[in-house]
Each structure stands twice: as structure tokens, then as C-alpha cells.
Amino acid sequence: MGLRVRIYYEDTDSGGIVYHSNYIKFCERARSEIVFASGIEFNDSRHFVVTKLEAHYLKPAVLGDILDVQTKLVKVGGVSLTLAQDIYKVANIKGECERELIFRAKVVVGFISDGKLSRLEPEFARVFGQLNEY
């Protein structure tokens, strides 16, 4: 499952280049959209937190670009999921571009239930596991 993101002025510095922290936000949005699309209910007593993040910035995105955030399940642990998230530039402001990998992240998210790290509920593993079937 992918999430399309257009780069707006608010996402960039004065030179029109995307702030480094926004790539992390785009990955967060993609993970959240996966859960929202599944129909699983998130609330203040049942959610994920990032416990580890490894980020590789390969090329910059700029004002007007359209990005595609791809998420893949790497590993299911007892209380966590490890995900690979790649961001591709798929179009520039003119709608031209070859699909190009510009950012790569490995994210470990821990499952929180009632305020503490808890055993991963099977439905979450299934939802993220379905990502690898496409």
C-alpha cells in the first residue's frame, strides 16, 4: 500500500528543498493510513510508538514533487513490528519524472496497550502482513 504526498511550500526551506524531518512525517502518515484503512480502531489506550528509526536520505525532494511512500513488513516480534519504508519521487511539478528512490527508513514500532508496552495483537500483524502480498 502506498501513500501519495505532494510537496507544498510549508514542507520546504527557503530554497524549496524538503526539510529532513518531513520524510519521517510522511512515513508516519503512511503507517497510520494502513491502520485507518483496515478499520482497526486506534485510541489513547491502544496504539503504536516508534522505538527505533534508521533513516537514509538519498536525494532531496523539492516544491511541487509528488512522492509515493511504500511500506513493507520486515519482521513481527512479540511486542513490535519492523517495517521498511521507502519514499519514491514519482513526478515533479510539471508531472514529469522517472520513479526514483529518494529516502529509505527502517522503523521499529512497539505496541502500547493501557499505557505500557504489550504483546502485539494478532490483528495488527495481519494488517501489516498483508502489505507483502501485493
Distance between CA atoms of residues 15 and 9, nearest Å = 10
Q: Is 13 assigned a catalytic role?
A: yes
Nearest to 113 by CA among 51, 46, 49: 46
Active-site residue, from 13, 44, 65, 68? 13
Phi-psi region of 16 (alpha: psi -120 to 50; beta: other; left: phi over 0): left
Distance between CA atoms of residues 106 and 51, nearest Å = 11
Nearest to 23 by CA among 36, 32, 12: 12
Query: Which neighbouring-strand residues pair with 71?
Result: 85
Which residues are catalytic, by number?
13
